[in-house]
């Protein structure tokens, strides 16, 4: 059975003159790490809300483990396994103390009391926030709040987590913290990830990238294939990674570098090699 499949999905907001997403088709397998990039308004958030059943397609079908989001009675089964973390950590906190906040989700879906404690502890540990379990949420940094929000979703034991620009409001340190938690959940717990981001270096860490443009899926490929296609990137109004841009400048200045460098670490290594 397929894990997640979108088959010709279109969605139009009420009174809008065009579809926010149109004829979207792709599928992902269990444990995959997918990034979605695209200019503002290209339909990324709409897609996220279609996947967890917050919106029902105007046409086409979204199925998670064979269950269609049209089956209202089974939406609950989908939402238990498909969690979404949004952009603003302040809008996602429901309790004043960290551990209560994380317990809220499982309490709400009727997880037995004895099990909640274990789930909260596991989730906070996975997000590196166990030592702050008794802390007041208001005292946390942005990156810490976002990690508590992730722990809150994790306590529901999801199999797919969607991050809709979850690092956008964080400083570089907070962004790194959150991204490293996301990578760890994917690698160590096999949780499938859909990472929606405007930071190309984050997208480059995914197994696969989908590119959205004006409601359409215009490319689907590995990070290296997508970022080497400069013509495509220019057309959809996104850039490559900052490191790749830096490589362009260095090449123009006569420094020879291997093709296709995307991350800082790769560039550092290549430069070290030149100096030897
Ligand atoms: N609630 C709404 N009502 C009407 N139109 C909307 C609504 N939300 C989004 N849209 C429109 O749908 C289209 C897709 O928006 P969406 O928010 O999915 O894009 P996005 O790729 O997530 O953008 P961003 O990068 O800015 O977050 C845009 O044209 C947007 O103006
Ligand atoms: Mg959005």
Atom nearest to 15 CA in ligand 1: 4
Separation of alpha carbons 260 and 5, rounded Å: 30
Task: Evaluate: CB of 275 within 6 angstroms of ligand 1.
Answer: no
* pTM confidence score: 0.93
Atom of ligand 1 nearest to the CA of 21: 14
Nearest to 2 by CA among 33, 34, 27: 27
Does residue 136 sit in helix, strand or coil? strand
Q: What is the mean pLDDT of residues 191-213?
A: 96
pLDDT for the residue numbered 69: 96
| Atom from ligand 1 closest to the CA of residue 13 | 4
Contact 235, 201 (CB under 8 A): no
Confidence of residue 152 (pLDDT cuts 50, 70, 90): very high
**Residue with CA at minimum distance from ligand 1 atom 4:** 13
Among 39-43, 78-82, 92-96, 223-227, the range scoring the smallest mean pLDDT is 92-96
Report percent pLDDT > 90 for the chain: 81
Band the pLDDT of 173: cuts 50, 70, 90: confident
Confidence (pLDDT) at 199: 93
Find out whether the beta carbon of 15 lies less than 6 Å from any atom of ligand 1. no
Q: Is the pLDDT of residue 275 over 90?
A: no
Q: Of all protein residues, whose CA lies closest to atom 3 belonging to ligand 1?
A: 13
Length of the chain as a residue count: 276
The rounded distance, in Å, linking the Cα atoms of 132 and 146 is 13
- The residue nearest atom 6 of ligand 1, judged by CA position, is 13
* Virtual torsion, Cα 102, 103, 107, 110, nearest 10 deg: 90
* The pLDDT of residue 220 is above 90: yes
Residue 109's pLDDT band (cuts 50, 70, 90) = confident
- For the chain, what is the largest distance between any 2 Cα atoms, rounded to a whole number of angstroms? 64
Q: Is the CB of 41 under 6 A from ligand 1?
A: yes
Pocket flag, ligand 1, residue 17 (CB < 6 Å): no
- Report the separation in Å between the CA atom of 270 and the middle of ligand 1, taken as the mean of its atom positions: 40
Give the burial string for 211-246 (b: 16+ CB within 10 Å, else e).
bbbbbbbebeeebeebbbeeebbeebebebbebbee
In the numeric block, the tokens 């089964």 are attached to 77
pLDDT (0 to 100) of residue 229: 93
Over 80: is that where the pLDDT of 123 sits? yes
In sequence order, which residues have a C-beta less than 8 Å from that of residue 56 and are 6 or more positions away? 50, 69, 70
Do 236 and 211 form a contact (C-beta atoms < 8 A)? Answer: yes
- The pLDDT value given to residue 1: 76
User: What is the pLDDT averaged over residues 91-119?
Assistant: 90
User: Residue 92 has what pLDDT?
Assistant: 77
Mean pLDDT of the chain: 93
CATH of region 30-54+81-237, choose from 3.20.20.70, 3.40.50.300, 3.40.50.1820, 3.40.50.970: 3.40.50.300
* 6-11: average pLDDT: 98
- Which protein residue's CA is at the shortest distance from atom 27 of ligand 1? 40
- Location of structure tokens 């093709």: 259
Contact 205, 243 (CB under 8 A): no
Nearest CA to ligand 1 atom 7: 13
Closest among 150, 140, 160, 135 to 102, alpha carbons compared: 150
**Local structure of 17: helix, strand or coil:** coil
For residue 88, what pLDDT is reported?
85
pLDDT at 234: 94
Distance of CA 185 from the midpoint of ligand 1 (Å): 28
Interatomic CA distance for residues 141 and 144, integer angstroms: 5
What does the pLDDT read at residue 78?
93
Choose which residue among 9, 11, 12, 13 to substitute to test ligand 1 binding: the one with the highest number of ligand atoms within 8 A of its C-beta. 13
Enumerate the domain spans of the chain: 30-54+81-237, 241-276
* Cβ–Cβ < 8 Å for 155, 103: yes
- Quick one: tokens of 9? 């999905």
Nearest CA to ligand 1 atom 11: 20
Question: Looking at residue 116, what is its pLDDT?
Answer: 95
Ligand 1 contact via 16 beta carbon (within 6 Å):
yes
């Amino acid at each position: 059975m397929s894990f997640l499949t979108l088959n010709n999905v279109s969605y139009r907001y009420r009174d809008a003159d065009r579809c926010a997403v149109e004829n979207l088709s792709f599928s992902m397998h269990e444990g995959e790490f997918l990034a979605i990039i695209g200019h503002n308004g290209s339909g990324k958030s709409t897609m996220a809300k279609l996947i967890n059943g917050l919106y029902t397609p105007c046409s086409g079908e979204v199925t998670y483990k064979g269950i269609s989001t049209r089956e209202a009675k089974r939406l609950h089964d989908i939402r238990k396994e498909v969690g979404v973390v949004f952009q603003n950590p302040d809008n996602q906190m429901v309790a004043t103390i960290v551990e209560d906040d994380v317990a809220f989700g499982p309490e709400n879906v009727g997880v037995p009391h004895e099990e909640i404690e274990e789930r909260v502890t596991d989730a906070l540990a996975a997000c590196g926030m166990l030592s702050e379990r008794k802390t007041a949420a208001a005292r946390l940094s942005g990156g810490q709040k976002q990690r508590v929000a992730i722990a809150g979703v994790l306590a529901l034991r999801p199999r797919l987590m969607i991050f809709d620009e979850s690092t956008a409001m964080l400083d570089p340190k907070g962004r790194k913290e959150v991204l490293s938690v996301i990578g760890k959940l994917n690698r160590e717990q096999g949780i499938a990830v859909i990472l929606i981001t405007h930071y190309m270096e984050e997208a480059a860490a995914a197994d696969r990238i989908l590119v959205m443009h004006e409601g359409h899926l215009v490319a689907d490929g590995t990070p290296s294939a997508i970022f080497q296609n400069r013509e495509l990137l220019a057309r959809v109004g996104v850039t490559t990674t900052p490191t790749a841009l830096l490589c362009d400048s260095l090449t123009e200045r006569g420094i020879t570098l291997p093709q296709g460098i995307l991350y800082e670490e790769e560039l550092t290594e290549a430069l070290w090699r030149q100096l030897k």
